[in-house]
Structures are given as structure tokens and as C-alpha cells.
Structure 1
């Protein structure tokens, strides 16, 4: 857990140091018209690191504020599979991590607090809840990232009440997340006219290449929200199309299952089945959609004129539709 009382100042200072470093990077790189692969790699890694650190900070702040309540809700309100879906979506929306929700479920089933069928409903709901981050990211709020960082830092450092401190870390996490996106977006600007880079991004319009790339990248960084955020960032700069973005976010839905698999390795039989169920649902859902991506993209294009928003909507609608398809079958899975 990130938020031990004695490391509050250290966490704040580290966050501000990262912002300062990447800001200096952005200033230095903008003065050079040539494409430097080293600076691009540094900017991407630094921006991604800030994005992930911000998400971790935000998630931990949410858990510290409402973690016990979330556990109580999961234990008491999952007897009905439809309510379980809603609870899974709500809990994941609050703690901003479908992986954390799934790991929590595996531990609950492992300890006998939930049964297998109850947990499956929550798993399906967690996929929906995880799309909230993408919807927030699709708003162009990167211009306010430093304001969020400043406000969150003041609250986390100087507030007397723990609840306000934790809320400060949530706000600071949001700010770091959005500033990381800004760094990655600014870093990518020199590549937008590079034919090789554009060719690579265009290749993701091949559904299978895009899905594999999204799955592998998400498995490596352990965050489907980060993958979706990066795809939306690329779309914001005009570097990636809706047709290329959809396979990447579908692949992210598969890659995010790695955390659940790891959590279930040393668990009971039913807890392992929860992890396997998570993987199975997500893979089948992706397979059902991958052959219809052009038609799905045409439908999604009607939801907004803005490509980043279209990608966020595709992420949300895919998970809602997959859940609607699977939820009637959960009682028959044993």
C-alpha cells in the first residue's frame, strides 16, 4: 500500500520531482527540430511511468477512503447475479482497477466469503467499471493537470483529516495521470509525420495484430486503463484511427487477465476457477467482436465526432454488450 503515514511527504516529493524532470525534458526536446529516438523513448517511458504512478496513487487513495466499505458491499450484496454485476462495476469504478477487484474476488472465494457464481457476476461488472477511466481520459483535461497536481499536493501535505489527505492523493493521482498523458502526447509530435511510425500504427487496423499488441502490452504493464489511455492519447494527436484503436483496446481486455491468473496460482479450486472464468469471458468476448470490427467501428463513429471519445465509447459499449451476453449463463457454469 502506497499510503503509509510516514511516507506522505516522500510520495509528494517524488511526484513533483517526476513532473519537474519531464517538464525540463519537454522544454529541451522542443528546441530541437530533429527526431531523437533517445529523447522520444525517454519521454514515452517517463510519461508512461507518471501515468502508472498517478493511477496507483489515485487507486490507493480511493481504497484508503472507501476500501472497507467496498469489501462489505462485495460480501453482502452479491447473491443476485444482476446486482453482482452492478456491484462489480461500482467497486471497480471507485477503486479504478479491475485487476484489484478481481484479485479481491479471488481472495474472497479462496476464504469462502463468496461462491464461484457470485464472483463471476462481479467479474463481468468489473469490466464495465474499468471503462470509466477511459471516459474521463477522453475529456481534454491535460491542460489542467498541473492545477490538479498543485491542489492535490496541498491537500495531501497540509490537511489535518486523513479523509482529506486521501482525497488529496486521489486528485494528485489524477493530475499525474493526465500530465503523463501530456508528456507522451508531446513526445509523439515529431513522429506524426514519420512514415515508418505511421505504417506501424496503420498495421494495427489488422484486427489480429492489434489485439495481440494490445494484449501483450497490457500484460507487461499490468494495466488495461494505461493501454486505453495511451491509445486515446495517440488518437488525440491524430496518430491512430478508430479502426486501429478498437483492436488495441480489445487486446487490452485479454492482457488485463494476467493479474487474476497470478493471484489464483496458489488459491483453492473455486478461486482458480474465478481467474479462469475472467480469462474465458474476456477471450470469448473479444473473439465474438473481432470479426465485426469494421461494422462495430461504423456504429461507434455515430456516437461522437471525436476519435478519442469514440475509442472510449467503443471500450464501454464492448464491455456492456459482452456482459449482457454472458450474464444469463453464469448460473449454469459449475
Structure 2
């Protein structure tokens, strides 16, 4: 009997190994697809605009409008990883970095809508709903505050773009890129050439470029969604254990675990959405999960950095620069806002007061979602045109 049990256990272990092996193979293939997609978007953008990218995006010379565009796009797509990867591709195709910076910041704001929607599931119990809604909107208010502080500083001094450019130069080899061998570009070039071949069959270069952009965006979206689902199958359990063990051990542990979990599952939304029901049920407090939210902001930047590695030599510098902007924006926001106690308390206070209003009248919760993520951004775009 024990021999049969041992045989069954061994057989099950082999089946699980094969199962996880297939999942990890799919993960690798979808990462490859993401890298190809970003490169395709950049090449397609170049075909459409030639050397006139700045003129095409003159509307975004208004930093506020670029910020709103990033927010609205991410709220609609429901993935900051998708939007930031697309922005990296556009920068590689000629979109100026200074125009892309507010868009990247807007993506941070737009991604927070999902966990706020998750909190609505606790509406049946006022106590749970108050905790859950506060836990979800603290992410919103932190990101609003980060943009209010850092975007004006960047517009006045350019400190983010300068620092990011310096780091990008170290990572990709300085301004003289022609002698460097990019292994990622070498691997993705054959697939990109196939897409270009189909695009060149179209009667006009502009149409071909638009077709490449559309295909690239579709592939980016598909890759991010599929990667999230695959990684959740193999990593969410472990990531959740990391989260539960680290919460309550202090802010540094919380930030580190939030970043690690987000890298593991490739989704800041997954990280923050896992926390909302934990707080709603009373397992943790809003203050305890606050640092984890900040870590999720940092962890999600890995996607843009990964995407930038697929860019060809002539465009690698601006692509890596905007990816570094995304990283340093979140690092500085965490260090500056969370590191200064009066600033640290603002998101907690705002989330708590909004949760009080939402508990009194549930319509306020829906009104907040509609206004913050769709109505105000759409009106801002219309007014500034």
C-alpha cells in the first residue's frame, strides 16, 4: 500500500512539474511577445510621423493635458503596465521625453480605479465598506499628491529627466550606441521584420505604420493580460504569503513586499486588490497596508524597463530614459511623501474622510469613481482643446 502511495505521489509530482514547466514556457513566450510588440509600436510610429513626432504631439506641450491623457488611457485600459509600455514604444518612435513624462505620471493615477471598484463589493456592511473604501482610495490620494509635488518640480528643474538620462547612459552605453550589441533586439528583430513585411504590403507607408501601431498595442495588451493570468497561477499564493508575513513589520518591510509581490505577479492592481478585502474584513488596518501600496507603485515599473530593452540602438536612450523616469518618480514619491510625517498623513486623512462620506451615501462612491477617472479627465481634454 505504501509503495502504491509513493508511486502515486511521484506521478503527481511529475505531472505538476510538467504543468508548471508549460506555464513558465508560456510566460517566456509572452514576455518575448511584449518585447516584440513594444519594438513594433516604435517602428510603426516612425513610419507614420517620420521626423515630425514633436509636431504630431503638440497638444501634449500642455503638461496638464498630457497628464490627463495618461490617466484617462490607463483608466480605460485598466493596466498601467500596458500604457507605460506603449509610451516607451512611442518614445522610441520619436515622442519627446518631456511630453511623455506627464503621461507616465498619469498612468500611475489611472491604474488605481480597479481596487476602488473592488471595495464596492463590501457595500453590504458599513464597517467593512468604510475600511475597504479607505484602503482603496489611499492609493489614489497618494498618487494625486505625488503628481502635485513632483510634476511642478520636474517642469521647473528637469531633475527627473536629467537623472534618468544619466542612468540610461550607464545602462545602454552612452550616446554612441552603434558598437553595442543588444541581445534583446537581436532576438526580437526577426519577428518585428515579419510584421514590417506585412505592413509594407499596404499601399501607403502611413497606413502600414498605423497597422503596426495597432497590432503592437493589441499585442502589448494581450501580453500583459496573459502574463498576469499565468503568473497568478504560479506566484499569487507565494506572493500573498509574503504580503501577509510582512504587513505589520514596519514600513520598509511593507514597501519591499509590495514591490516584490508586484514584480512576481506583474500587476500592481493585483497587489492592491488583494489588500482591499483583507482590510475590509478587519485582518489589517489601512495604515498597515499603506506602505504595501507604495511598494506596488515601485514594482510595476519593471514592465517599462523590460520593454525599453527591446528598443533598437538609435532609440534605446530615450526609451530607457522614460522607463527610468517611471522608476524614479515612484521612488522619490515614496521617499519624499512617506518620509515626511505631515505629508504621509494627507492620503490617510483624505481616504478616511471620503470613506465617511461614501458610507453615509453610497452614491458618493460611484460619483467619485466617475468624476475622478472619466468625467473630469474628459472635460479637461475638451476644455483645453
Quickly say closer, same or farther: Cα 1:295–1:89, change in 2 above 3 A: closer
Instruction: Spell out, residue by residue over 1:48-92, the C-alpha distance to the aligned partner (whole angstroms, 9 max, x if none).
Output: x9xxxxxxxxxxxxxxxxxxxxx99x9644232111000000100
| Other-structure match for 2:278 | 234
Contact 1:109 1:270 in 2 (8 A): yes
| Other-structure match for 2:118 | 137
Partner secondary structure for residue 252 of structure 1:
helix
Quickly say closer, same or farther: Cα 1:207–1:294, change in 2 above 3 A: farther
Contact 2:247 2:253 in 1 (8 A): no
- Of structures 1 and 2, the one with the larger relative CO (CA 8 A, separation 6+) is 2
Matched, 1:271 2:319: yes
Counterpart Cα distance in 2 of 1:198 and 1:100: 28
Partner secondary structure for residue 303 of structure 1:
helix
Counterpart Cα distance in 2 of 1:199 and 1:104: 35
Contact 2:287 2:348 in 1 (8 A): yes
| Other-structure match for 2:336 | 288
Instruction: Spell out, residue by residue over 1:105-157, the C-alpha distance to the aligned partner (whole angstroms, 9 max, x if none).
Output: 11111111x110011010011111111112211111799xxxxxxxxxxxxxx
| Other-structure match for 1:86 | 68
Partner secondary structure for residue 60 of structure 2:
coil
Contact 1:87 1:125 in 2 (8 A): yes
Structural mapping, 1:97-116, within 5 Å: 97-112=79-94, 114-116=95-97
List 4+ stretches of structure 1 deviating above 3 A.
74-77, 197-201, 293-296
| Other-structure match for 2:107 | 126
Partner secondary structure for residue 117 of structure 1:
helix
The structural deviation recorded for 1:303 is: 2.5
Matched, 1:217 2:261: yes
Quickly say closer, same or farther: Cα 1:256–1:300, change in 2 above 3 A: same
The structural deviation recorded for 1:246 is: 0.7
The structural deviation recorded for 1:258 is: 0.4
Partner secondary structure for residue 139 of structure 1:
helix
Counterpart Cα distance in 2 of 1:99 and 1:209: 24
User: Over aligned residue pairs, what C-alpha RMSD do you find?
Assistant: 4.4
Quickly say closer, same or farther: Cα 1:235–1:119, change in 2 above 3 A: same
| Other-structure match for 1:9 | none
Contact 1:207 1:290 in 2 (8 A): no
Unmatched tracts of structure 2, length 5 or more = 1-22, 24-44, 125-224, 374-385
Contact 2:301 2:327 in 1 (8 A): yes
Contact 2:272 2:293 in 1 (8 A): yes
Unmatched tracts of structure 1, length 5 or more = 1-48, 50-70, 144-172, 192-196, 321-334
Count of matched residue pairs: 201
Counterpart Cα distance in 2 of 1:277 and 1:102: 11
The structural deviation recorded for 1:94 is: 0.7
